[in-house]
């Protein structure tokens, strides 16, 4: 049973309880495929996210960074062969466009790999996302766009909800009537495996216009 990890951002390294689960879930360590969130910037190499895995003692035989430097067909092959797929943090919209252009979303959904995403990557793993200038997007009009849809909920990652509850409610109440929204800030994670959702750190559930803080299970 494959696992999905929706991560916030970790300023140092993964905590021990998250490391333990990752080590349990990532048994095949042949290939790590990292998907850039700024694919035209070849200096965006995922060094930070890779350092989290290195520190956790999770190392791979092969490392592949997928961006515009990689041909579309080669990128698809690397996704198909990956043991772990890691969607990197950074620019949510650029990564989303890249996933569509390279036709990677369905391949990721069909993959038996463990799939991870940090910040922007976690947002793009989810089913839907609200793109709003109030959430830092450089847009004039708010809109909802589709993510990969690994699980049928929305993620707002790396967001300080506790100090922005009114903004959060006004922006996301309509979407919360359609699907559940999980909001987390730094040093947080959701792990989805089968029907079970595990929580690390300060994570809130927004459903049908009601907000509740979730108990940690990790």
CA dist., res. 49 & res. 119, Å (int): 11
3-state helix, strand and coil shares in percent for the chain, rounded to the nearest 5: 35, 25, 40
Structural domains of the chain, with CATH: 3-213 (3.40.50.880)
pLDDT for the residue 173:
82
The percentage of the chain sitting over the pLDDT mark of 70, rounded to a whole number, equals 94
CA dihedral 167, 214, 124, 59 (to 10 degrees): 140
CA dist., res. 186 & res. 7, Å (int): 8
**DSSP helix/strand/coil, 58:** coil
Residue range 57-98, pLDDT digits in tens: 999 999 999 999 999 999 999 999 999 999 999 999 999 999
Supply the mean pLDDT for the chain: 91
Higher-confidence residue: 137 or 182? Answer: 182
For residues 95 and 86, is the Cβ–Cβ distance under 8 A?
no
pLDDT for the residue 185:
80
**What number is the average pLDDT over the span 104-108?**
98
For residues 89 and 37, is the Cβ–Cβ distance under 8 A?
yes
**What number is the average pLDDT over the span 154-166?**
76
Higher-confidence residue: 7 or 140? Answer: 7
Higher-confidence residue: 141 or 149? Answer: 149
Higher-confidence residue: 208 or 162? Answer: 208
pLDDT for the residue 44:
79
Best CA proximity match to 23, nearest among 62, 52, 66: 52
**DSSP helix/strand/coil, 170:** helix
Pairing between β-strand 143-146 and β-strand 181-184 as defined by DSSP bridges:
unpaired
Alpha carbons within 13 angstroms on the beta-carbon side of residue 71 total 3
CA dist., res. 7 & res. 22, Å (int): 12
pLDDT band at 136 (very low <50, low <70, confident <90, very high): low
First-to-last CA distance in the chain?
18
pLDDT for the residue 171:
75
Residue found under tokens 């916030």:
8
pLDDT for the residue 109:
96
The answer, yes or no, to whether residue 130 has pLDDT greater than 90, is no
pLDDT band at 156 (very low <50, low <70, confident <90, very high): confident
pLDDT for the residue 135:
67
The answer, yes or no, to whether residue 112 has pLDDT greater than 70, is yes
């Amino acid at each position: 049973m494959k696992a999905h990890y929706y991560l916030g951002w970790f300023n140092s390294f993964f905590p021990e309880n998250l490391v333990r689960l990752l080590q349990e879930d990532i048994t095949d360590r042949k290939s790590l495929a990292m998907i850039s969130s700024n694919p035209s910037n070849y200096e965006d190499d995922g060094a930070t996210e890779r350092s989290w895995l290195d520190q956790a003692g999770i190392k791979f035989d092969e490392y592949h960074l997928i961006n515009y430097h990689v041909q579309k067909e080669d990128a698809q092959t690397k996704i198909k062969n990956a043991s772990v797929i890691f969607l990197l943090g950074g620019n949510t919209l650029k990564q989303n466009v890249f996933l569509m252009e390279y036709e990677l979303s369905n391949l990721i959904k069909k993959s038996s790999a463990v799939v991870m995403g940090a910040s922007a990557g976690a947002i793009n793993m989810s089913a839907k996302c609200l793109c709003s200038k109030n959430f830092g997007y450089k847009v004039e009009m708010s809109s909802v766009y589709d993510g990969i849809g690994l699980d049928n909920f929305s993620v707002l990652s790396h967001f300080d909800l506790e100090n922005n509850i009114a903004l959060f409610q006004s922006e996301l109440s309509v979407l919360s009537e359609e699907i559940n929204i999980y909001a987390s800030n730094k040093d947080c994670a959701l792990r989805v495996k089968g029907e079970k959702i595990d929580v690390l750190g300060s994570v809130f559930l927004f459903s049908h216009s009601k907000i509740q803080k979730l108990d940690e299970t990790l």
